[in-house]
Chains A and B, each alone.
Chain A
Amino acid sequence: MPADNPSMQNLTGIAVSAGVAICESMVLSGEEIWVPNMRIKEEDIELEWDRVAVAIAQVDESLRQNSETINAQLGKEYAAIFDAHRMMLADIQLHEKIQREIFGRLHCAEYAVNSVLLSYENIFAKLNNSHLAERSNDIKDLRLRLLRELVKPDRQQLEAVKRDIVVFAHNLTPSETASLNLAYVKGFATEVGGPGSHTAILAEALQIPAVVGIGPFLDHVNRGDMAVIDGDWGKVVLRPDEETCASFQTGIAEQKGIAAKREEVHQLVGQTLDDTRIEIHGNIEFPHESKFCKNAGADGIGLYRTEFLYLPSEQDPDEETQFRAYTSVLREMGDVPVTIRTFDFGADKEYAGYESESENPALGLRSIRLALRNLPLFRTQLRAILRASAHGNIQVMFPLISSLSELRKAKLILGNVKEDLHDEGIPYNGAIRVGMMVEVPAAAVLIDQFIREVDFVSIGTNDLIQYTLACDRTNKDVAELFSPVNPAILHLLKNIIRAGNDYGIDVSLCGQMSSDPIYTMLLLGMGLRKMSVPPVAIPEVKQVCRQVTIEQCELVAKHVQKWDRPEDINVYLCEQLRRVVSGDLNNWVSEIEARSRHSGWNSAAEAG
Chain B
Amino acid sequence: MSLVLVGTSHRLAPVELRELVALDEKGAAEVARTLAAGGWEAVCLSTCNRTELYLAADDAEAAEERAATVLRELPVLYRLHDHAAALHLFRVAAGLDSLVPGEGEILGQVRKAAEIGSPGRLLDRLFRDAVHAGRRVRSQTAISESPASISSAAAALAQQVFGDLAGRKVLVIGAGKISEQAARNLVSRGAAISAVANRSVPRGEELAGRFGARAVPVEAAQDELVEADVVVSSTSAAGFVLEQSGVQTTLGARRGRPLFLIDLAVPRDLDPSIHDLPGCYLYDIDDLQAVVAESLAGRRTEAARAEEIVADEAERFRAWQASLDVVPAIASLRARAEEIRAAELARARLGGLSEQDRRAVESLTSQIVSKLLHLPTVRMKEAAAGADGGVYADVVRDLFGLEDDAGSNRLPRQ
Query: Do A and B truly interact?
Result: no
Chain A residues proximal to chain B, CB less than 8 Å: none
Q: Chain B: residues with CB nearer than 8 A to chain A?
A: none
